[in-house]
Amino acid sequence: MNIIRGVSDVFWDSDIWLPPNTTWKDIAPNSNPHIHHADSTHLLYPIPMAMCLFIFRRLFEKYCLSPFGLYLGIKNTAPKKAPANKHLEAAFSRSRYPKVSVIKGLVKQLDWEEIQVERWFRARRLQDKPSTLVKFVECGWRGLYYTLSFIYGWIVLWDKEWLWDIQKCWSNYPHQSVEVSIWWYYMVSLSFYWCLCFTQFIDVKRSDFWQMFAHHLATIALMSFSWVCNMTRIGSLVIFLHDAADIILEAAKMTKYAKCQRICDCMFVIFVPLWTGTRIGVYPLWILRNTMFDAAKIVPMFPAYYIFNSLLIGLLALHVFWTYLMLRILQNTLKTGSMEKDVRSSSEDEDSD
């Protein structure tokens, strides 16, 4: 226990996480009757909240999104299962896309034609592919959350001075009150991303699985550190900025699954400039410029400042990666006349039904 306590004391050294001449006692929840500092123990709340959110999601998908998807004519049929074969199943467990040498070995072992083995592997891959309805309801759930989060963020931040003058994020820092509305904004957002971390392993697998997982972890780390260090003002702006484009993203995917291709293409055309404008334009030029350069003129620098900025830069790197993928999709869309793949990421298995 003494070792754990010692490591904890070193890790949470106030010289690392707080500005010079500031201690944890100075920003404790009850340290000032006129200022409501963030309470670090509240970071435990999003875990049970994430479980409640997951239950609500399942109910919403089952009783609202699934019936709506079926009403739109979206199929919920699962692909036919590949014939049982222990030799082929063993090879499939090692590689979903076996090498030519492996296929030839299976041909000799089973006395099959090469085309038969290839068809079995294709059928086996499709067997694990989720139905279109499953993908539709997943997008619907995320779209609902991003829409409600964006609307709530707009209502909450509208009268906040730091929305209109970002320099105010650092006024009197770290002695800034966390209002109840911002408290809920943080807690619900954290619970959503915790929920995504867990459900990502059971949801539809996509080609950018690990990039998305890194994004969720970086977001949780960013929000948690900003909460502990009482940087909730700049943190609230980051949350708000990231919700806008995701609304259109999920809506575009839903229209694609509903086979409303023209609407999907139009939404994609709207989504690309909205995404690049917020994630590649506003985010680095407004948020990052302020945290990396302007804040240093207002607040004395401390180690956590650089940790915070490193995480923000990490998010920007992911934004650049996804923007590159989207621009490739946009290029293909202009050539073919329609968007054939999911926006930002496509299903892990590209075999068609």
Domain holding 122, by residue range, is 86-127
The whole-angstrom separation of Cα 203 and Cα 298 is: 44
Task: Give domain status of residue 179, yes or no.
Answer: yes
How many folded domains does the chain comprise?
A: 2
Instruction: Please indicate, yes or no, whether residues 206 and 121 belong to a single structural domain of this protein.
Output: no
Instruction: Please indicate, yes or no, whether residues 44 and 62 belong to a single structural domain of this protein.
Output: yes
Instruction: Please indicate, yes or no, whether residues 179 and 319 belong to a single structural domain of this protein.
Output: yes
pLDDT confidence bin for 1, thresholds 50/70/90: low
Mean pLDDT along residues 53-66: 96
Task: Give domain status of residue 345, yes or no.
Answer: no
Task: Give domain status of residue 269, yes or no.
Answer: yes
Mean pLDDT along residues 295-302: 90
| Predicted pLDDT of residue 130 | 83
Beta bridge mates, 206: 347
Instruction: Please indicate, yes or no, whether residues 108 and 181 belong to a single structural domain of this protein.
Output: no
Task: Give domain status of residue 341, yes or no.
Answer: no
The whole-angstrom separation of Cα 196 and Cα 142 is: 10
Mean pLDDT along residues 90-100: 85
Task: Give domain status of residue 3, yes or no.
Answer: no
Instruction: Please indicate, yes or no, whether residues 103 and 218 belong to a single structural domain of this protein.
Output: no
pLDDT confidence bin for 336, thresholds 50/70/90: low
Instruction: Please indicate, yes or no, whether residues 154 and 209 belong to a single structural domain of this protein.
Output: yes
Mean pLDDT along residues 317-331: 85
pLDDT confidence bin for 350, thresholds 50/70/90: very low
Q: What is the mean pLDDT of the chain?
A: 87
Task: Give domain status of residue 32, yes or no.
Answer: yes
Instruction: Please indicate, yes or no, whether residues 174 and 316 belong to a single structural domain of this protein.
Output: yes
Instruction: Please indicate, yes or no, whether residues 145 and 64 belong to a single structural domain of this protein.
Output: yes
The whole-angstrom separation of Cα 6 and Cα 158 is: 43
CATH of the domain at 119: 1.10.10.60
Question: Is the per-residue pLDDT at 77 higher than 90?
Answer: no
Question: Is the per-residue pLDDT at 163 higher than 50?
Answer: yes
| Predicted pLDDT of residue 138 | 94
| Predicted pLDDT of residue 349 | 44
| Predicted pLDDT of residue 99 | 86
Task: Give domain status of residue 107, yes or no.
Answer: yes
pLDDT confidence bin for 353, thresholds 50/70/90: very low
Question: How do residues 199-219 score in pLDDT, each as one tens digit?
Answer: 988 888 777 788 888 889 989
206: which DSSP letter? B
Task: Give domain status of residue 11, yes or no.
Answer: no
Question: How do residues 283-293 score in pLDDT, each as one tens digit?
Answer: 999 999 999 99
The whole-angstrom separation of Cα 206 and Cα 200 is: 10
Instruction: Please indicate, yes or no, whether residues 58 and 106 belong to a single structural domain of this protein.
Output: no
Instruction: Please indicate, yes or no, whether residues 162 and 117 belong to a single structural domain of this protein.
Output: no
pLDDT confidence bin for 238, thresholds 50/70/90: very high
Instruction: Please indicate, yes or no, whether residues 264 and 229 belong to a single structural domain of this protein.
Output: yes
Instruction: Please indicate, yes or no, whether residues 197 and 91 belong to a single structural domain of this protein.
Output: no
